[in-house]
Chains A and B, each alone.
Chain A
Amino acid sequence: QVQLQESGPGLVKPSETLSLTCTVSGGSVNSRNDYWTWIRQPPGKGLEWIGYFYYGGSTSYKPSLKSRVTISADTSRNQFSLKLSSVTAADTAVYYCARLHSSRWPDGIGDWGQGTLVTVSS
């Protein structure tokens, strides 16, 4: 059973870059079978898919966020990360890291972290 844990600053200033890390246990970010995914949820609102990282460096991002988002992996630490630049208050949300197994690609995201709240405020 894969376990995921998000970590990173809970407060980011407007116009700065939001950076989060997801530590993976029970699985490998270097796996050809998994898509390492970020999803967010503004307080009291619905879910929003941000994108994923796949083996070898392939990525896919939500079109409206693509210019500001980078998802990458550190195989030596078995972690993957999210960077979102030029943040505004609209980026305030609970950020979830998740795993999508290739057998359930593209819509069956079966493993989720507990989520971490990031607030954008000066």
Chain B
Amino acid sequence: QSALTQPASVSGSPGQSITISCTGTSSDIGGFNYVSWYQQHPGKAPKLMIYEVTNRPSGVSNRFSGSKSGNTASLTISGLQAEDEANYYCCSYSTTSSLVFGGGTKLSVL
């Protein structure tokens, strides 16, 4: 059970849009519509931003959206704000009845 693959870092300017990819296999991302995304600021606990590929919990800005195609899921953040600078982790359910996380992506807002 390998970790999902994310880019180590992405960056964007305030107001721009960015997309973070998360690549797995047919045993996880490709096999289920159970992909979530977590935001983590340094020294803080992760925060759920997206679940079941596209669902946003109440209170999460609609600037955050999720999608999936095949074995790859994506998180898009539009209208980048300074407060979005954080680490982002994808997560998927897998055929082993467990959850697997990505290695994380550091988002820098320039």
Contact = CB atoms under 8 A, between A and B. Distances in A.
A110 B46 contact: no
B89 interface: yes
B104 interface: yes
B1 A108 contact: no
Interface residues of A, number: 22
B22 to A, nearest CB: 12
Contact of B98 (A63, A109, A110, A114): A63
30 contacts: A46-B3, A46-B89, A47-B101, A48-B101, A49-B91, A49-B100, A51-B98, A60-B97, A60-B98, A61-B98, A62-B1, A62-B98, A63-B1, A63-B96, A96-B46, A104-B51, A104-B52, A104-B57, A106-B34, A106-B93, A107-B34, A107-B36, A107-B52, A108-B48, A109-B46, A110-B48, A110-B57, A113-B45, A114-B45, A115-B45
